[in-house]
Chain A
Amino acid sequence: MSERPGERRPVRAADRRGERGRAPVVVIGAGLAGLTAAAYLRRLGIRVRVFEAGPHIAGLAKTERDPEGFVYDFGAHFITNRLAAAIGVGAHCRTIKHYGETVRLEGRTYAYPMGLMRRADFILSAIRRRAIVDERRPPRTAADVFRLRYGDALARRVAFPLLEAWSGAPADKLAPSVAAALQHGIGHTLLLKLDGRLTRRAVAIGYSHEMPESPNVWHVYPMGGVAVLCQRLLEGLEGCIELNSPVQQIMVDGDRVVGVRAGGQEHAASAVVSTAPVHVLPRLVVGTDVLRPLARFRYRPMVFVNLRMEGRGLLPDTVLWTPDAGGPFFRLTETPLSMPWLAPRGKTLLVADLGCEVGDEIWRASDEELADRCLAHLDWIPDARRRYRGCRVMRSPIAYPVHLAEYEDDRQRFAQSTGIRGLVSVGRNGEFAHLLMEDVYWRTLDAMRRLVADRAAAAA
């Protein structure tokens, strides 16, 4: 994410000047970001207190296993071998040998993204768009970006429907930042794919924006889910974490954080690292209203329907995008194609992603009702209904941040700084960014380095 100033400031012992006698840094949330922040600060000898609202660590991450042997991951649970090594959990991870995405369009399947270039109408449209559009004019919406990058036909037939189902807003209402580009262009991406084939490893492509892509960085699956990472980060944080302790207030004096209220008590804080969804911050922060614009920021709720099915290989590849499915879902994932251990032998899991709003008919529908709706649009899978063995549904009220153009300026300002000295917002929800696990880790470390350097500068 290039919009945040990317300076990598050194952190040295000199930065610890003035730490003695200072109030601790309060971390809100014991998920990957919160624990990464707390563990880093703790290693530098800075006192930390972590307040976790729920009864568990690991934030939103959740892994469940049913008696039949199906494993349900809440949230994307694969990471990279690089992140696993950085945290020190490589020994607990299994290599993912293959990962691929496809698009189903008009009954045909195309590999994503290159396979779509098989269609002449898409190619012609892309060429035409490049020829007539003045590229110097900066795109104002996500729709502009996709039209420019892929041409009108592909944008209209594939990108817009997916974008709208995913975000709940039309593409011309979304900010250009939604459209992430490939890190190194098509040639490099093809090379990485080739590397993955040769080495039989799912080389991570488009996964991390913070660190370079490489044939040596591939997807791995932490056995036990993200909790394994969090458990490792917990070492050294004994006595610093308070579960069932929602933070009710973040107290600001002037333009500086001075403490938090949690469990009905006030706690002094020299800084606060929040992983809370940003639209909650204006309600939490007392003593200033500089965060008021964040109240408008929206997250897209999502319902994930896990269909237990007989057979394996029901989808052409791990992920199938369905821009013209006409049904409730826009994406299907057959996780056992990449991670065979997530389902018993001879069976599989299909995860259907359904965008919704909290309280709407999808959100309120029963599990079986949702499964029935999904199956109705899976008639192209032979005997889909006969294969169906049951389902489990997970609902997330804040699955993805929605970058609406109407608050893009505020979002970019927030991406630079919260505007309150000593208040840092990190993590997928805290940054209001569609970050994957590895970027959450590196960006949180960078944020902590900036925080420590700022504290040292202030002390000096």
Chain B
Amino acid sequence: MAVPRVGVTVDRSAVPGPGLERQEIGPDNRSAPLVLEHVACAVCGATNGEPVGVGEDFEYHTSPDSFLAVRCRVCGLVYLDPRPARSELPRIYPPSYHAFDFSAERYGFVYRVRRALEGRRAMRWCRGLPADARILDVGCGDGFHLRLLRDFGAPGWSLEGVDASPRAVDAARAAGLTVHEGTIETVGLRPGHYDLVLLIATIEHVDDPAGVLRAVRRLLRPGGRVVIVTDNTATLDFRLFRGRHWGGYHFPRHFNLFDRATLARLAGRVGLDVDAVETVVSPVNWVYSIRNTLVDWRAPSWLVERFSLRAPAALAVFTLWDTLCQWTGHGALLRAVFRRPVDRRGSGGTPSPDTTSLAAPVGLAPGAGPVTDPVVAPDVLGDSPLGGPMLPPALPHPSRERETAGV
């Protein structure tokens, strides 16, 4: 519904009042506003959001807009409404976008810790896979997780990635990985082919999470599973900071934010069975919530920089703190394992029960499908202190490129 524009001009022919000329109302000294569009809830299709937070792009300052996070009064999904139109993705993921820039050169110790822990974590996702398993990483960026699987996994595994960013794909290919350029819905992968699909810090970025999961379901073999890691809204940090500064908002790049129930409900909508929805320790949303607060309050830069991904002290403290939260079942991230049911109607490629797009910007979804109760099993052991990369699914990730170059 929104139309592209450089700045809004009030057409005085349609506005009362003599003495006014056509007036440019866009801010003079800031970049142009984004094209924003209203959306329905991506999980249940309702258009009944209650405001929970209003904020800005505290991290990259890509636009002068303010953004509203709403919580669906029907299913509880937290989502951005209105949100940037697809045409704005290159702006909200600028070339300087470097969240989770974990290259060895820049992060040194933190990088090495994360690589080790994330490697252990990746191997846990792969437990029980056959020696010739086929694994697909959706939104793989430069292939950080694929490389972990290559380095630590079984030699017979077939590893593939999908990413829409040519730069990320080039970097991954340079590392010797098999990566398809495009989105999972469009790259034309073989249906019913994969044993495991990974969506690590990806689903919160996509505008149609149901569409992506539906595509994942098609690609999985019957009985195959998908592992999703994403921010958790059922946490203390969300409660404390949700009004404005919560790190998980990552305004305006996280379009949909889940808790256990909404994630499980989404799985039910697209015909995936829920194996488990667990929470995972991560200090990142804590650290960035504080950082956003400091940025918003114009704190001195030396103080702001104490709270970043290059601040081991803050990361360590909040890893311990989030471990306490994890013991109460409210770790900062969600890790869900969904499984494609063993197909009673034949082999792969069967459409999921719900074939209607849920996230059409102005449309409504059909009535809610069955809700699968999540198996809640808070997981303490073996957690990585750092979450997955907040990688835009369709854009280059400079950090990963640098990381590749350095490895």
Mask, B26-53, CB within 8 Å of A = 1, is 1100101110101000001111101101
* B45 / chain A contacts, CB cutoff of 8 Å: 12-13
Interchain nearest-CB distance for B137 vs A (Å): 33
Mask, B363-382, CB within 8 Å of A = 1, is 11111100000000000000
Q: How far is the CA of A193 from the CA of B213 in the complex (A)?
A: 46
Stretch at the interface among B66-74, B123-131, B164-172: B66-74
| A85 pairs with B14, CB closer than 8 A | no
Please pick, from B10, B11, B44, B66, the residue contacting A12 in the complex, using a CB distance under 8 A.
Answer: B44
List chain A residues, Cβ under 8 A from B47. Answer: 11, 40, 43-44, 449
Which of chain A's residues has its CB closest to B19's CB?
A64
A91 within 8 A of B: yes
Q: Which of B3, B67, B362 lies in contact with A90, CB distance below 8 A?
A: B67
Of A57, A74, A90, A198, the residue contacting B65 (CB under 8 A) is A90
Q: Is A449 touching B367 in the complex (CB atoms < 8 A)?
A: no
Q: B117 in the interface, Cβ–Cβ < 8 Å?
A: no
Q: How far is the CA of A55 from the CA of B12 in the complex (A)?
A: 11
- CB A143 to nearest CB in B, in angstroms, measures 36
Complex partner residue of B66 from A62, A63, A91, CB under 8 angstroms: A91
User: Which of B10, B36, B38 has most chain A Cβ within 10 Å?
Assistant: B10
Q: Identify which of A96-104, A166-174, A216-224 touches chain B.
A: A216-224
Given the complex, which residues of B lie within 8 Å of A230, measured CB to CB? 15
CB-CB under 8 A for A91 and B364, given A8-B73, A216-B244: no
Q: At the interface, is chain B mostly helix, strand, loop or mixed?
A: loop
- The distance in angstroms between the C-alpha atoms of A56 and B20, with both chains bound, is 14
Q: A13, A43, A198 — which one has the most chain B CB atoms within 10 A of its CB?
A: A13
User: Taking A82-B68, A216-B244, A227-B10 as contacts, is the C-beta distance between A10 and B25 under 8 angstroms?
Assistant: no
Minimum CB distance partner of B10 in chain A: A224
Measured CA separation A243–B82 after assembly (Å): 28
CA separation between A84 and B20, bound complex, in Å?
Answer: 23
CA distance A43 to B65 in the complex (A): 22
Q: What number of B residues sit within 8 Å (CB to CB) of A?
A: 54
In the complex where A91-B27, A216-B244, A228-B25 touch, is A57 in contact with B15 (Cβ < 8 A)? yes
Q: Is B63 an interface residue (CB 8 A)?
A: yes
Say which residue of A11, A16, A64, A228 sits within 8 Å of B8 (CB atoms): A228
Interface string of A2-44 (1 = CB under 8 A from B): 0000001111111110000000000000000000000010111
Among A231-239, A305-313, A336-344, A355-363, the one that faces the other chain is A231-239
Is A14 a contact of B14 with CB atoms below 8 Å? no
B16 within 8 A of A: yes
If A91-B33, A231-B10 touch, whether A82 touches B54 (CB-CB below 8 Å) is yes
Determine whether the beta carbon of B26 is less than 8 Å from that of A91: yes
Q: How far is the CA of A84 from the CA of B56 in the complex (A)?
A: 12
- Residues of B close to A88: CB separation below 8 A: 2, 36, 38, 65, 82
CB distance from A9 to the nearest CB of B (A): 8
B30's partner among A10, A84, A91, A215 (CB-CB below 8 A) is A91
- Interface membership of A214, Cβ < 8 A: yes
Could you say which interface size class chain A belongs to?
Answer: 35 or more
Inside 8 A of B73's CB, which chain A residues have their CB?
8, 10
B1 at the interface (CB under 8 A from A): yes
Contacts A85-B54, A232-B8 hold; do A11 and B364 have CB atoms under 8 A apart? yes
Q: Is B243 an interface residue (CB 8 A)?
A: yes
Decide if A376 is an interface residue (CB 8 Å cutoff): no
The residues of A that contact B243 with a CB separation of less than 8 Å are 214-216
With A43-B47, A63-B20, A92-B25 in contact, is A81–B66 under 8 Å at CB? yes
* Docked pose: A62 CA to B243 CA in angstroms: 32
Q: Which residues of A contact B3 (CB under 8 A)?
A: 235
Contact partners of A85 in chain B: CB under 8 A = 54, 65-68
Residues of chain A in range 41-93 having any CB-CB distance to chain B below 8 Å: 42-45, 54-58, 61-67, 74, 81-82, 84-86, 88-93
Kindly list chain A residues whose C-beta atoms are within 8 Å of the C-beta of B38: 43, 88
Asked if B406 CB lies within 8 Å of chain A CBs, one says no
Q: For the complex, is A211 an interface residue (Cβ under 8 Å from B)?
A: yes
Q: Does A412 contact B (CB under 8 A)?
A: no
Residues of A within 8 A of B44 (CB): 10, 12
Q: Answer whether residue B300 sits at the interface, using C-beta atoms and an 8 A cutoff.
A: no
Q: In the complex, how many angstroms separate the beta carbon of A215 from the nearest chain B beta carbon?
A: 7
**Residue with the greatest number of chain A CB neighbours at <10 A, chosen from B15, B33, B34:** B15
Contact status B74-A92, CB under 8 Å:
no
User: Is B302 positioned at the interface, with any CB of A under 8 Å from its CB?
Assistant: no
The answer, yes or no, to whether B182 is at the interface (CB within 8 Å) is no
Q: Provide the bound-state CA to CA distance between A199 and B299, in Å.
A: 11
The A175-228 residues at the B interface (CB cut-off 8 A) are 198-199, 211, 214-217, 222-225, 227-228
| In the complex, residue of chain B having the shortest beta-carbon distance to the beta carbon of A60 | B16
Which one of A45, A90, A216 has the highest number of Cβ atoms from chain B below 10 Å of its Cβ? A90
- Out of B2, B15, B48, B56, name the residue touching A449 (CB < 8 Å): B48
User: How far, in whole Å, are A9 and B27 apart by their CA atoms in the complex?
Assistant: 38
B142 shortest CB reach to chain A, Å:
33
A231's contact among B11, B20, B55, by CB below 8 Å, is which?
B11
Q: B20: nearest residue on chain A (CB-CB)?
A: A65
A12 to B367, CA, bound (A): 7
Identify the closest chain A residue to B64 (Cβ).
Answer: A91
Query: Provided the pairs A8-B73, A12-B365 are in contact, do residues A65 and B19 lie with their beta carbons within 8 angstroms?
Result: yes
Q: Which residues of B contact A65 (CB under 8 A)?
A: 19-20
Q: Collect the chain B residues with CB atoms within 8 Å of residue A449's CB.
A: 47-48
The answer to whether A86 and B68 touch across the interface, beta carbons within 8 angstroms, is: yes
Q: Are B54 and A216 in contact (CB under 8 A)?
A: yes
Q: Which of A13, A55, A222 contacts B364 (CB 8 A)?
A: A13
- The answer on a CB contact under 8 Å between B33 and A92 is yes
The residues of A that contact B32 with a CB separation of less than 8 Å are 91
Specify the chain B residue showing the minimal Cβ separation from A10.
B74
With CB as the reference atom, state the residue of chain A lying closest to B35. Answer: A88
Interface residue ranges of B292-340 to A (CB < 8 Å): 297
- Closest approach, in angstroms, between the C-beta of B46 and any C-beta of chain A? 5
Residues on B with C-beta less than 8 A from A216 are 53-55, 243-244
Query: Of all chain A residues, which has the CB nearest B5?
Result: A235
B47 nearest CB neighbor, chain A only? A11
Q: Which residues of A contact B64 (CB under 8 A)?
A: 90-91
Given contacts A85-B66, A86-B51, A235-B2, whether A12 and B46 have CB atoms under 8 Å apart is yes
| Given contact pairs A11-B47, A236-B1, A66 touches B19 in the complex (Cβ within 8 A) | yes
CA distance A224 to B65 in the complex (A): 16
User: Does chain A have a CB within 8 A of B96?
Assistant: no
Q: Is B17 an interface residue (CB 8 A)?
A: yes
**4 closest Cβ pairs, A-B complex:** A90-B66, A91-B33, A236-B1, A13-B364
Binding site for A on B (CB under 8 A): 1-3, 8, 10-11, 14-20, 23, 25-27, 30, 32-34, 36, 38, 44-48, 50-51, 53-56, 63-68, 73-74, 81-82, 243-244, 297, 362-368
8 contacts between A and B (CB under 8 A): A12-B365, A40-B47, A62-B16, A92-B27, A216-B244, A224-B23, A228-B25, A231-B15
